[in-house]
Structure 1
Amino acid sequence: MNGNRTRQPRRAAVEHAAWVFYAIAALGSTIGQIWVGVQTPPWPANLDWWWRALFVAPFAVVIDLGGAVTAAFADWRQRLGEAAYGWRILSAATVTIGVAINIIGHADVMYLAVVFGGLGVFAYAIWLMHSAARRRDALRAAGKLADTAPVFGIVQWWREPAVTRRARSLAVAQRLPLHQALDLARRQLRDEKRRAALATHVETLIRSRHDDPVRADIAATTLDLDAVAAALTTQADVPGWARVIGADLTPPAAPILDSDPDAAQTPTAGLPAGPMPPADVLRRVPQDQASYDRWRQLWAELKANPDVELAEFAVRHDISLRQVQWIRRTGASGLLDSPLTLIDRIAQLAARNGHGPRPAS
């Protein structure tokens, strides 16, 4: 409330200043036209100058006042939603005549031509901008004009023009502050770019399922590819991919060093030889000898033919693709190089370190 009370006197002061400036500029333009009217027409020699000024003054006032009156009519009709081209053209033509009289009539004195012609242009410009501002305020108060967007600044427009353009629309539509609008715009553009790329791949996949190009076109056109892309995005196993990628980025474990020279001959020497698989894979390594030997056999085939297609390999051995991936990751770490199961090797290692009975030789 206090802010509104403070803004009202300020607005009234600005309004009064605009009227004062317009009145002074219009009076100067009128004086210039009267001056031209006193000197230029072929008046009788015995007619005093003040009679001449009295005769031409109404015409000069009508020309300057006519531009304002016709502009006021145009403003009124524009508030009602009309274009008001006729009133606007008549207003501009009237002011043009007044400015031309001042410039041509004082052409012999450049200073006077610039001053009186500039005053006419200045008065008309003030009137147009003032009336346009009042018209926008009235339309905004009536709910017929959109709210103004935040000022983003030249640097923001230069750095992120697409984001700023979207943020400006969001700020107006959802009445968001500047930084929230920018964050939402960046997120929307990023999601749209991802969905567009995913929709392109989905369309390629759909077309690849049909040998007939006509059927492929029908299938790709009938489906809402954006909706399919959005559904795939919601079904994506983000944590699962993060675990897989994170496991590939883990550094290899340091090899176990044993001071016992006989340790080099034991199955635990050099364990592990490669990157340690994640815990969820280690839990699936078989503990019974038969299943473990089966894993070692499959790993030997994978190791001998590293370029084999995992899906084809899984079908050939009647196992799942996920199990093939487990076997490959476990074997790459060296945990399938020993004929003993992992639990047996751990027991032997504990026995050698004095934590259990040494196996009989």
Structure 2
Amino acid sequence: MNSTHTTHSRRPAVEHAAWIFYAIAALGSTIGQIWVGVQTPPWPDTLDWWWRALFVAPFAIVIDLGGAVAAAFADWRQRLGEAAYGWRILSATTVTVGVTTNIVGHADVAYLAVVFGGLGVFAYAIWLMHSAARRRDALRATGKLADTAPVYGLTQWWREPAVTRRARSLALAQRLPLHRSLDIARQQLREEKRRSALAAHVEKLIRSRHDDPVRADIAATTLDLDAVAAALTAQADVPGWARVIGADLLPPPPLDSAADLDAERDTVAVAGPMPPADVLRRVPQDQASYDRWRQLWADLKADPDTELPEFAQRHGISLRQVQWIRRTGASGLLDSPLTLIDRIAQLAANNPVSAS
């Protein structure tokens, strides 16, 4: 409340200062043009200098004020939604004539040329910026001008240009504060990137279902791939994937005693890294299939340089199953003639206290 009141109380003082600066600069430019008008034209020698000044003063005042008057008309028409190119060109031309008169007329004294020419430029610049600020305030008050966006700073723009552009648009559209707009922009860009990658994979999957390339193009073009990607994202079993991945990250349970350690070595001997949970679930539980895996693992160990696709084709199994057998066998889980579930049951029988 106090900051708002302070801003409104300071604004008239600032505007008064702008008017004062403009008046002083315009007066200086006018004096410079009158000076040129007194000295340059071929006046009669009998005509006093103050008569010369009196004759040229209206023209100098018209030139300086003409630029401001034309700019004021341009500002008025712009507030009504017009471009006002004619008034703006006339204003700039008038000021150019005044500044050129001061520079050329005082060319023999560089200081005077710079001072009087600079005063004309300074007066016109103050007028343009002041009128533009008043026009923006008037348009903003009537709801015809967008609100200003937060200032994100050069460091933020340099570090995250795409995020900052999105955040600025969100802040203007939804009137969000700086940090909130940045958070939402980052989230939106991450989701768009993930959805775009998923849509590309969905398109490949759809095309792979059709042997005819024309049908594949029709299917991929007809479907809204972004909508399919969004639906897949909504149906994704995130907790399920977290459980599967987390199962591979769990440490082995601690052994209670030396007897448990010996029993573990005898029943489930592990020679290498434990295969992931999805591979362990595929280890056969029936004795015949388990013995088949042990035989295939023995063949793999006997010829470690064999090509896996060739091995799979020779034994009539899939390449994926060969990979499962190799990972399970490398861990030592196929060294025992007992199946994995029989060894676990044996371990429970040998340790009834721990099992209970």
Q: Identify the TM-score tier after normalising by the shorter chain.
A: 0.7 to 0.9
| Counterpart for residue 143 of structure 1 | 143
For the residues of structure 2 that align with 1:172 and 1:233, how far apart are their CA atoms? 29
Residues 294-320 of structure 1 show CA distances to partners (whole Å, capped at 9, x for unaligned) of 562464377467957xxx9xx989xxx
| Counterpart for residue 52 of structure 1 | 52
For the residues of structure 2 that align with 1:201 and 1:281, how far apart are their CA atoms? 25
For the residues of structure 1 that align with 2:233 and 2:322, how far apart are their CA atoms? 26
**What does 1:158-307 correspond to in 2, within 5 Å?**
158-250=158-250, 258=258, 267-268=266-267, 270=269, 274-275=273-274, 291-293=285-287, 296-297=290-291, 299-300=293-294, 303=297, 307=308
For the residues of structure 2 that align with 1:267 and 1:216, how far apart are their CA atoms? 56
Indicate how the Cα distance of structure 1 residues 282 and 302 shifts in structure 2: closer, same or farther if over 3 A, else same.
same
| Counterpart for residue 359 of structure 1 | none
Q: Structure 1 vs Structure 2: percent identity of aligned residues?
A: 73
SS state of the match for residue 71, structure 1? helix
Indicate how the Cα distance of structure 1 residues 213 and 194 shifts in structure 2: closer, same or farther if over 3 A, else same.
same
Cα offset for 1:348? 3.9
Indicate how the Cα distance of structure 1 residues 346 and 281 shifts in structure 2: closer, same or farther if over 3 A, else same.
farther
For the residues of structure 1 that align with 2:159 and 2:216, how far apart are their CA atoms? 42
Residues 291-350 of structure 1 show CA distances to partners (whole Å, capped at 9, x for unaligned) of 542562464377467957xxx9xx989xxx9x9999998877655635261453123431
Could you list the runs of 5+ residues in structure 1 that have no partner in the other structure?
Answer: 357-361
Residues 256-315 of structure 1 show CA distances to partners (whole Å, capped at 9, x for unaligned) of 985799x5898436379753866x9999999xxxx542562464377467957xxx9xx9
For the residues of structure 2 that align with 1:182 and 1:64, how far apart are their CA atoms? 48
| Counterpart for residue 14 of structure 1 | 14
Residues 230-271 of structure 1 show CA distances to partners (whole Å, capped at 9, x for unaligned) of 11111222222223333334456789985799x589843637
For the residues of structure 2 that align with 1:255 and 1:302, how far apart are their CA atoms? 32
SS state of the match for residue 207, structure 1? helix
For the residues of structure 2 that align with 1:274 and 1:39, how far apart are their CA atoms? 102
Structure 2: which amino acid aligns with 1:346?
L
Residues 104-142 of structure 1 show CA distances to partners (whole Å, capped at 9, x for unaligned) of 000000000000000000000000000001111111111
Cα offset for 1:355? 9.7
For the residues of structure 2 that align with 1:70 and 1:183, how far apart are their CA atoms? 47
Residues 184-210 of structure 1 show CA distances to partners (whole Å, capped at 9, x for unaligned) of 111111111111111112222222222
SS state of the match for residue 351, structure 2? helix
Cα offset for 1:221? 1.3
| Counterpart for residue 116 of structure 2 | 116
**What does 1:19-34 correspond to in 2, within 5 Å?**
19-34=19-34
For the residues of structure 2 that align with 1:177 and 1:354, how far apart are their CA atoms? 59
- Cα pair 1:277 1:330 within 8 Å, conserved: no
Q: Would you say 1:349 and 2:343 are equivalent positions? A: no
Q: Would you say 1:93 and 2:87 are equivalent positions? A: no
| Counterpart for residue 62 of structure 2 | 62
Could you list the runs of 5+ residues in structure 2 that have no partner in the other structure?
Answer: 301-306
Q: TM-score, normalised by structure 2?
A: 0.82
For the residues of structure 1 that align with 2:235 and 2:105, how far apart are their CA atoms? 80
CA RMSD of aligned residues (A): 3.8
Indicate how the Cα distance of structure 1 residues 149 and 58 shifts in structure 2: closer, same or farther if over 3 A, else same.
same
Residues 73-128 of structure 1 show CA distances to partners (whole Å, capped at 9, x for unaligned) of 00011111111101100000000000000000000000000000000000000000
Cα offset for 1:215? 1.8
**Greater helix fraction, Structure 1 or Structure 2:** 2
For the residues of structure 1 that align with 2:4 and 2:263, how far apart are their CA atoms? 88
For the residues of structure 2 that align with 1:139 and 1:266, how far apart are their CA atoms? 83
